[in-house]
Amino acid sequence: MRHIPRKRFGQNFLVDGSVIHDIVAAINPKQGEPVVEIGPGMAALTKPLLEHLDRLTVIELDRDLVVRLQANPKLNVIASDVLNVDFRQLSASLGGQRLRVVGNLPYNISSPLLFHLLDAIDVVQDHHFMLQKEVIDRLLAKPATSAFGRISVMMQWRYAMERMLDVPPEAFDPPPKVMSSVVRMVPLTEWVQVPQPLLEELVKVAFSQKRKLVRHTLGKWLDEKGFNGDFDVQRRAEEIPVDEYVALVKAVHGV
């Protein structure tokens, strides 16, 4: 029986065999690895992944699809909204290994999901995600470009990232109205350790009025924190490199 894609779940099922092959090749799954697939849908990616794995954990919200997936004895099916999944707990249940998380992500929750996974980065080996191309443009954006924003800073602080391939709308059923891309995200082994909530707060304030100089936003925030160090606030938020944001948090945290 054919499953009708549900708009409220952001379902666009990948159907292009060559794209699926390229994604699996990029992931390069190995026996014994704790691979977790988000939003397996009609199992287009699930089935070729299982050719390399004895066991695969999948997270699916759509109850009709959950029933189909549960019929496969090689799948550990978590019937849940992925934003409610505790990835640290999941890692512990899979033997404490760092997770390899993959998926064709629902575009309507991509940013909240990336931040949710950032909170559990210590139990992650890598991510391979299909996302809206525009989102990956923002993930990889350089300072002083229009795409550079809050998500660029937060993800570049903790991940090394690269675009693996671009995917046209016709590779999906139904075709989305946007181009898609696949990104690889690997947690950095070395990074400047600062309180994540404070960095999130600082960056959110900085980009709250993106077209204005940060003296109107971040400048006031720094004054409220009692910061009297050196920082050039005569710039727009997109002009400030990641390492400067991180260094500023470190300085504020030490005040």
C-alpha 55/C-alpha 33 separation (Å) is 9
Judge if 77 and 143 occupy the same domain.
yes
Residue pair 52/123 in contact by the 8 Å Cβ criterion: no
Residue 232: give its domain's CATH number.
1.10.8.100
Judge if 132 and 240 occupy the same domain.
no
Total of domains in the chain: 2
pLDDT by residue for the chain (255 residues), tens digit each? 444 444 444 457 899 999 999 999 999 999 999 999 999 988 999 999 999 999 999 999 999 999 999 999 999 999 999 999 999 999 999 999 999 999 988 888 999 999 999 999 999 999 999 999 999 999 999 999 999 999 999 999 999 999 999 999 999 988 988 999 999 999 999 999 999 999 999 999 999 998 899 999 999 999 999 999 999 999 999 999 999 999 999 999 985
Judge if 183 and 202 occupy the same domain.
no
57 belongs to a structural domain: yes
Judge if 33 and 61 occupy the same domain.
yes
SS3 103: strand
Chain center to CA of 73: 28
Q: Which domain holds residue 126?
A: 7-187
SS3 204: helix
Judge if 123 and 25 occupy the same domain.
yes
C-alpha 39/C-alpha 81 separation (Å) is 9
Q: How far is CA 96 from CA 29, 88, 102, 119, in A?
A: 18, 9, 18, 17
Domain end call among 135, 153, 187: 187
1 belongs to a structural domain: no
Known binding residues for S-adenosyl-L-methionine are 12, 14, 39, 60, 81, 104
Residue 71: give its domain's CATH number.
3.40.50.150
Judge if 30 and 132 occupy the same domain.
yes
2 belongs to a structural domain: no
200 belongs to a structural domain: yes
Judge if 183 and 201 occupy the same domain.
no
Judge if 157 and 182 occupy the same domain.
yes
SS3 137: helix
Judge if 202 and 181 occupy the same domain.
no
- Give me the pLDDT at residue 105, please: 86
113 belongs to a structural domain: yes
Residue pair 47/34 in contact by the 8 Å Cβ criterion: no
Judge if 206 and 162 occupy the same domain.
no
Judge if 179 and 209 occupy the same domain.
no
Judge if 176 and 50 occupy the same domain.
yes
Known binding residues are 12, 14, 39, 60, 81, 104
| Contact partners, residue 237, CB within 8 Å, separation at least 6 | 149, 206, 207, 210, 214, 217, 218
Domain end call among 187, 210, 226: 187
Residue pair 203/188 in contact by the 8 Å Cβ criterion: no
Domain end call among 145, 168, 187: 187
156 belongs to a structural domain: yes
